[in-house]
Homo-oligomer: A and B are copies of this chain.
């Protein structure tokens, strides 16, 4: 058996340092392991002895030990004491947190914690998800799916590396598909991505300079925007009225010296459900042209307008190539396909495509071919017609439910499509408190704070995940629990 040297400690943390004492201890132990002084298999002294050596109290040691354990550097097997089980890769963990640069403001970091809590709870069994960003899986077009996959099962005769911009058949189908929204482009203007999120990733990493500002609606879908933040961009939230983003408020904040872009979800906005009016769209375009402010238009909910005529995307009135449009099959058909697309000018698509090839050699060819078949066969169109009818019915029921139970204590707008109703309570309801009480009843709420740049009293409700009966029952429970 290899002999392991006993661990000697002749060092004390600096209690006057701005680095917390437990962090200093973590770093000290990491360094000792990294430089090989403390070898694998070495046993740490008991916590009591450690506390004495370092001149700190037990709870500080305990915090440091927990952190080192979570890195996989030490392990406390019962009976055997705490041992260095360090592996080299784990040692890299504490030193490179930059990939996860969190939102700079402390307030938003808190939001992030609530968001992680919600993400975890979404996988809890029997939880009722009242605000989730996913379509009801029971609406999956099973029969069409079976037909499409049966076809693919014989039509696909090999699955090689795909073209950099995505399989041509799919790009052709997307070009056709986008025409109904007034977007007329060629296959060279289309890049297939692994979901719209990856499109943001590509744009962040190869189009935007660190330190640039992203103007966005407030509230908005911050989860996607973490991408921008990882790339070192600053977020700046702009308030909305019923016609959409109050773009004129950007003017004051535009600094000529730094580069900026605008990110918007103009149609059935997440989380508010607001659809930007046509007049506002034109004004916004003029403003952006004047100020040379490029636009990322997130069209995730564009195809889900069920009231009246659908609003034309900004891309449809974009004569100057200001707009990069993001489409997605995730909100309409199936997030698990991981299919999204970017529409932009040819050189931009070329560059994004090059970057995509460097990252993952393109999206799954199988997913691409399946979605292409959905589009080309007319199945997707037919499915969407049915889906929008159901969503409309669910929205109407949701509005009726709100009028019945919440009229006296909250306000909301009527969305023309999408998934969401943004409910804002009057002064006497604390949403954080409501979250906990709802959770006790097995109901998961998406509180408004996780979408906003400041505290609010709102909830993002989704009528897309639950049936009419389920939605009404859950909202009744919420109401009854309030007083």
Given contacts A100-B206, A100-B354, A335-B160, contact A321 B360 (CB under 8 A): no
- Tell me whether B361 and A364 are in contact (CB under 8 A): no
- Tell me whether A96 and B206 are in contact (CB under 8 A): yes
What string of 1s and 0s marks CB contacts (under 8 Å) between A197-241 and chain B?
110010001111100000000000000001100100000000000
- Tell me whether A294 and B89 are in contact (CB under 8 A): yes
- Tell me whether A92 and B366 are in contact (CB under 8 A): no
Q: Which of A71, A123, A134, A194: most chain B CB closer than 10 A?
A: A194
- Tell me whether B93 and A347 are in contact (CB under 8 A): yes
Check A90 for interface membership: any CB of B closer than 8 A.
yes
Task: Please tell me which stretch of A148-156, A385-393, A456-464, A474-482 contacts chain B, meaning at least 4 of its Cβ atoms lie within 8 angstroms of it.
Answer: A148-156
Q: How far in angstroms is the closest Cβ of chain B from A143?
A: 10
Check A17 for interface membership: any CB of B closer than 8 A.
no
What string of 1s and 0s marks CB contacts (under 8 Å) between A70-96 and chain B?
111000000000000111111111011
Question: Which residues of chain B have C-beta atoms less than 8 A from A109's C-beta?
Answer: none
- Tell me whether B348 and A366 are in contact (CB under 8 A): no
Question: Which residues of chain B have C-beta atoms less than 8 A from A70's C-beta?
Answer: 347
What string of 1s and 0s marks CB contacts (under 8 Å) between A133-148 and chain B?
0100110101001111
Name A134's closest neighbour in chain B (CB-CB). B160
Check A320 for interface membership: any CB of B closer than 8 A.
yes
> Residue A324 contacts which of B40, B89, B137 (CB distance < 8 angstroms)?
B89
What string of 1s and 0s marks CB contacts (under 8 Å) between A249-288 and chain B?
0000000000100000000000000000000000000001
Task: Please tell me which stretch of A8-16, A336-344, A394-402 contacts chain B, meaning at least 4 of its Cβ atoms lie within 8 angstroms of it.
Answer: A336-344
Check A351 for interface membership: any CB of B closer than 8 A.
yes
- Tell me whether A158 and B146 are in contact (CB under 8 A): no
- Tell me whether B88 and A336 are in contact (CB under 8 A): no
- Tell me whether A227 and B358 are in contact (CB under 8 A): yes
Q: Which of A134, A198, A336: most chain B CB closer than 10 A?
A: A336
Check A159 for interface membership: any CB of B closer than 8 A.
yes
Question: Which residues of chain B have C-beta atoms less than 8 A from A334's C-beta?
Answer: 158-160, 365
- Tell me whether B366 and A337 are in contact (CB under 8 A): yes
> Residue A87 contacts which of B194, B293, B345, B370 (CB distance < 8 angstroms)?
B345
Check A28 for interface membership: any CB of B closer than 8 A.
no
Question: Which residues of chain B have C-beta atoms less than 8 A from A105's C-beta?
Answer: none
Q: How far in angstroms is the closest Cβ of chain B from A342?
A: 11
Question: Which residues of chain B have C-beta atoms less than 8 A from A160's C-beta?
Answer: 134, 137, 334-336
Q: How far in angstroms is the closest Cβ of chain B from A348?
A: 5
CA separation between A294 and B152, bound complex, in Å? 42
Check A346 for interface membership: any CB of B closer than 8 A.
yes
Q: Interface residues, chain A, CB within 8 Å of chain B?
A: 34, 36, 40, 70-72, 85-93, 95-96, 99-100, 123, 134, 137-138, 140, 142, 145-150, 152-154, 156-163, 193-195, 197-198, 201, 205-209, 226-227, 230, 259, 288, 292-294, 320-322, 324, 334-338, 344-348, 351, 354-355, 358-367, 370
27 contacts between A and B (CB under 8 A): A40-B320, A89-B294, A89-B324, A89-B348, A90-B345, A90-B347, A92-B294, A93-B207, A100-B358, A134-B160, A137-B157, A142-B157, A148-B153, A149-B152, A150-B153, A159-B337, A160-B335, A194-B194, A201-B358, A227-B359, A338-B362, A338-B363, A360-B360, A364-B364, A366-B366, A366-B367, A366-B370
Sorted nearest first, the 5 A-B pairs with minimum C-beta distance are A87-B321, A336-B365, A159-B336, A149-B153, A137-B158
Instruction: Please name 8 further chain A to chain B contacts, defined as beta carbons within 8 Å, in addition to the given A40-B320, A193-B360, sorted by A numbering.
Output: A92-B207, A92-B208, A96-B206, A137-B157, A140-B158, A147-B153, A194-B194, A336-B364
